[in-house]
């Protein structure tokens, strides 16, 4: 008998299989980045979706790779390596990005104090929040909110 091998999955130019692309799509959709990256038709639940749900549920808390990997019975190194492959960024960078996006929405929608917003969205302190927000958005949270108020008054 001939040794028959199953064909390798189809790869795109980045070496991604269709399953990989679907998992990435599910992850981005769940974590709120769907509008930028994902067709709505790719929504089958998987481990990737569960991880995204866990991140969103615990975004206001201190999240670590060790804690998140353990939650899903994964080795921390394996989790980090595959998380980066799926999202294109490290776990901590991804969590920071989500926190900043949530904080931006809160700054625009409410008049809550910046310190309260920082703590509510999982930042360790207002100074950490200011530093991370400014490096991500290019302006301080106060200036970001000030622009919103200026727009509201000019109407």
Q: What is the pLDDT of residues 28-47, one digit of tens each?
A: 666 665 444 444 433 345 77
Rounded to two decimals, the pTM is 0.67
Name residues whose C-beta falls within 8 Å of residue 109's C-beta, 6 or more positions apart in sequence.
Answer: none
Percentage, residues of the chain above pLDDT 90: 50
Higher pLDDT, 19 or 44: 19
Instruction: List the end-to-end C-alpha distance of the chain, in Å, as a whole number.
Output: 79
> What's the mean per-residue pLDDT of the chain?
79
Cα distance between residue 143 and residue 154, in whole Å: 16
Give the position of tokens 């064909």: 7
Residue 70 is predicted with a pLDDT of 94
pLDDT exceeds 60 at position 74: yes
For 16, the 3-state DSSP assignment is coil
Residue 100 is predicted with a pLDDT of 96
Per DSSP, 150 falls in state H
Structural domains in the chain, CATH included, are 18-88 (no CATH), 94-154 (1.10.10.60)
């Amino acid at each position: 008998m001939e040794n028959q091998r199953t064909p390798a999955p189809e790869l795109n130019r980045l070496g991604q299989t269709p399953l990989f692309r679907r998992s990435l799509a599910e992850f981005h959709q769940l974590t709120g980045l769907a509008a930028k990256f994902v067709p709505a038709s790719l929504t089958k639940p998987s481990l990737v979706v569960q991880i995204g749900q866990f991140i969103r549920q615990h975004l206001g808390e201190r999240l670590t790779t060790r804690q998140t990997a353990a939650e899903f019975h994964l080795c921390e190194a394996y989790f980090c390596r595959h998380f980066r492959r799926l999202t294109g960024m490290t776990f901590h960078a991804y969590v920071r990005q989500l926190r900043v996006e949530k904080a931006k929405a809160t700054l625009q929608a409410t008049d809550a104090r910046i310190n309260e917003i920082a703590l509510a969205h999982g930042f360790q302190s207002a100074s950490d929040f200011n530093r991370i927000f400014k490096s991500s958005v290019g302006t301080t949270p106060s200036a970001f909110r000030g622009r919103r108020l200026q727009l509201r008054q000019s109407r």
